[in-house]
Amino acid sequence: MHGRAAAGQDSRRYGAVVRREARELIRRGRVAVDGVSVRSPEEKALPESGAITVCGEALDCRRYTWVMLNKPAGYLSATEDGRDRTVLELLSPELRRRNLFPVGRLDKDAEGLLLLTNEGRLAHDLLSPKRHVDKVYYVRVAGRLTEEDCRAFAAGMTLEDGFHCRPAGLEILKADRESEAHVTLREGKFHQVKRMLAQRGKPVLYLKRVRMGDVPLDPALPRGAYRFLTEIELEKLRMI
Ligand code: URA
């Protein structure tokens, strides 16, 4: 299902994980209907049958949406912009009404894996350096990458503006006058991959994100196409 994502897929997105979490919350007496604590996971309550609260907070019965986009170059990772096209414009009108936002940024000229969601908490966790979620980028650079470059990445570079990068991975795939590599970061400062490689004298010619955590870019997604995340992919994100 590319581009126009198939209706109905997202209705199955949560499945096992959410059911497990819900049972646990009910067992711990954290769920109430109209102020009365629910004690059995078997008790049925329709959203319209009473005010459901979880840990004292009203339950928002809308389901969250998670989309994987293969971002093409030329689009901003933003929800709106006065001048440039944004990744939101690649989505169907129905999806655009769901208030999705990109989980982190890819530069306008960068391509690859971009998640979009309306689930703020998990999106925030995925981007937090404390959570150690690897972001892996395929890069093509001008110049020959060396083991010294790998050591500089692993040691944690300091950029010219004084920003200290955490130790990062540089796996050389091809070393030549133009080289190719996978860069792994656990943080995401503006233009970070480009700036780290520029500092090593190897300017980036092409950059594509290929993985976030344990979720790789679906190789079957053409540039500009998207699909809903599968339950397994969502489960992997929720386990971080
Ligand atoms: N680092 C960059 O330099 N650009 C991106 O788009 C992402 C990471």
For ligand 1, atom 4, name the residue with the nearest CA.
Answer: 191
Q: In the numeric block, which tokens belong to residue 97?
A: 């009404």
- Please provide the average confidence, as pLDDT, over all residues in the chain: 87
pLDDT at site 33: 76
Query: For the chain, how many structural domains are there in total?
Result: 3
pLDDT at site 46: 52
CATH assignment of the domain containing 231: 3.30.70.580
- Whether 176 and 188 map to the same domain: the answer is yes
Distance (Å, whole) CA 123 – CA 188: 13
pLDDT at site 221: 98
- Whether 165 and 47 map to the same domain: the answer is no
Give me ligand 1 centre to Cα 9, in Å: 31
pLDDT at site 45: 61
Give the pocket of ligand 1 (CB within 6 Å).
106-107, 110, 191-194, 207
Ligand 1 atom with the smallest distance to the CA of 191 is 3
Ligand 1 site-directed mutation target among 194, 197, 204, 210, most atoms within 8 Å of CB? 194
Q: Is the pTM of this model over 0.85?
A: no
pLDDT at site 58: 61
For residue 69, give the nearest of 108, 104, 112, 98 by alpha carbon: 112
For ligand 1, atom 2, name the residue with the nearest CA.
Answer: 191
For the cut 90, the answer to whether the pLDDT of residue 95 exceeds it is yes
Ligand 1 site-directed mutation target among 87, 141, 207, 211, most atoms within 8 Å of CB? 207
For the cut 90, the answer to whether the pLDDT of residue 22 exceeds it is no
Residue 171 φ/ψ, nearest 5 degrees = -110, 115
- 3-state SS class at 30: coil
- Whether 112 and 225 map to the same domain: the answer is yes
For the cut 70, the answer to whether the pLDDT of residue 156 exceeds it is yes
Distance (Å, whole) CA 121 – CA 119: 6
**100 vs 35: which has the higher pLDDT:** 100
Asked if 190 contacts 211 with a C-beta cutoff of 8 angstroms, the reply is no
- Whether 171 and 191 map to the same domain: the answer is yes
* Domain encompassing residue 88: 66-129+214-238
Once rounded to an integer, what is the mean pLDDT over residues 193-215?
98
- Active-site residue, 60 included: no
CATH assignment of the domain containing 11: 3.10.290.10
pLDDT at site 61: 53
Give me ligand 1 centre to Cα 110, in Å: 7
For the cut 80, the answer to whether the pLDDT of residue 172 exceeds it is yes
Asked if 40 contacts 22 with a C-beta cutoff of 8 angstroms, the reply is no
Q: Which of 60, 81, 84, 107 is catalytic?
A: 107
Choosing from 58, 75, 98, the residue where a domain stops is 58
Give me ligand 1 centre to Cα 196, in Å: 10
User: Distances from the Cα of 164 to the Cαs of 7, 153, 196, in angstroms?
Assistant: 45, 11, 11
- Whether 219 and 119 map to the same domain: the answer is yes
Confidence band of 57 (pLDDT split at 50, 70, 90): low
Confidence band of 7 (pLDDT split at 50, 70, 90): very low
* 151-174 CB burial, b ≥16 within 10 A, e <16: ebbeeebeeeeeeebeebebeeee
